[in-house]
Structure 1
Amino acid sequence: MIKIYYPPYPFKIREPERKKEEIWDELRKQWVRLTPEEWVRQNFVQYLLVVKNYPASYMAVERKMRLGELNKRFDLLIFDKAAQPWMLVECKAMTERLDSRVLWQVLRYNMAIPVKYIVITNGEECHAFIRGEKDFEDLAALPAYNE
């Protein structure tokens, strides 16, 4: 498991009349519903931007993808400097366990969008994997963006 220390960040949160709380998404440049999963995603994005120095312009959040006959949405996709998919991140609410079900979900997404790195997180736990010769292998730390 990788230990993540989230940087303090002044998130913009609002509660419109008769609606659920919303948080300003800096990457999408829009207000989005503040769900438990969204809270994890927003904090993890800030960690990647501030601590790991990943460029915001190479991140895509919650975009549609085609998985066979199904339409799915990935949580976070980071592209390399050649604008190719490089890392796929699956975020879950802090109350969700990161079990084989979560790992298989992101591995299925990897069939549609092949990447070098896969990350799963629920905000407290974080696991990262790198594509090996035959399978994905555990990582002790998230890679630096320039790797």
Structure 2
Amino acid sequence: MDRLNLPPFAYKVKKSEANSLIFDALRKKYVVLTPEEWVRQHVVHYLLQELRYPKSLISIERGTSYNKLQKRTDLCVYNSDGKPHLLIECKAAHIPITQEVVKQVSVYNQALQARYVVITNGLQHYCWQVDFDTKRYQPLQEIPPFKAEEQV
């Protein structure tokens, strides 16, 4: 797998027939190790270890609907009231972050209404704070760390 621009972590990988599997600490099971999953697992561990988000607030591949279409979010961090706080879209390292990817995540967030949106391919990371009143996305230099007082 590609070396990413995220902190390394102690991952567990095993083989199962033709697939490599990686242990997902949130789902508490081994999942197929794809290039996108490699990025997602790095982001999960970054959220947990570096930014101190509690496991209980993070959801992986949760379904949502938008314009009668079913969509799946890669990662969503909720606040203590159960409302989306941080929406994260993960792409494989070889997938460039294009305007089309940004549009895709913006469409997801119209339904979710997360305060922050992140797009990463493990090498490049983009984060925005969303103002729903003005419909503006303010670029941020980094993903905000967990702050219990902001989670209400």
Scaled by the length of structure 2, what TM-score is found? 0.88
What are the residue-to-residue correspondences of 1:120-135 with 2, within 5 Å?
120-132=119-131, 133-134=133-134, 135=136
Are 1:99 and 2:98 an aligned pair?
yes
Structure 2: 5+ residue runs without aligned partners? none
| 1:68-90 Cα shifts (integer Å, max 9, x gaps) | 22111100000112221101000
% of aligned pairs identical? 38
SS in 2 for 1:11: coil
The count of residues paired between Structure 1 and Structure 2 equals 143
SS in 2 for 1:81: coil
Deviation at 1:14? Answer: 1.1
Q: Tell me how far apart the structure 1 counterparts of residues 86 and 63 of structure 2 sit (CA, whole Å).
A: 16
The alignment yields a C-alpha RMSD, in angstroms, of 1.4
The aligned counterpart of 1:113 is 112
| 1:7-28 Cα shifts (integer Å, max 9, x gaps) | 33221111112x3111111101
Q: Which has the higher contact order (CA 8 A, sep 6+)?
A: 1
Instruction: Provide runs of 4+ in structure 1 moved above 2 Å.
Output: 4-8
SS in 2 for 1:21: strand
The aligned counterpart of 1:139 is 140
Q: Tell me how far apart the structure 2 counterparts of residues 116 and 127 of structure 1 sit (CA, whole Å).
A: 14
SS in 1 for 2:114: coil
Scaled by the length of structure 1, what TM-score is found? 0.91
Check the 8 A contact 1:85/1:115 in 2, yes or no.
yes
Structure 1: 5+ residue runs without aligned partners? none
Q: Tell me how far apart the structure 1 counterparts of residues 65 and 130 of structure 2 sit (CA, whole Å).
A: 21
Q: Tell me how far apart the structure 1 counterparts of residues 38 and 94 of structure 2 sit (CA, whole Å).
A: 12
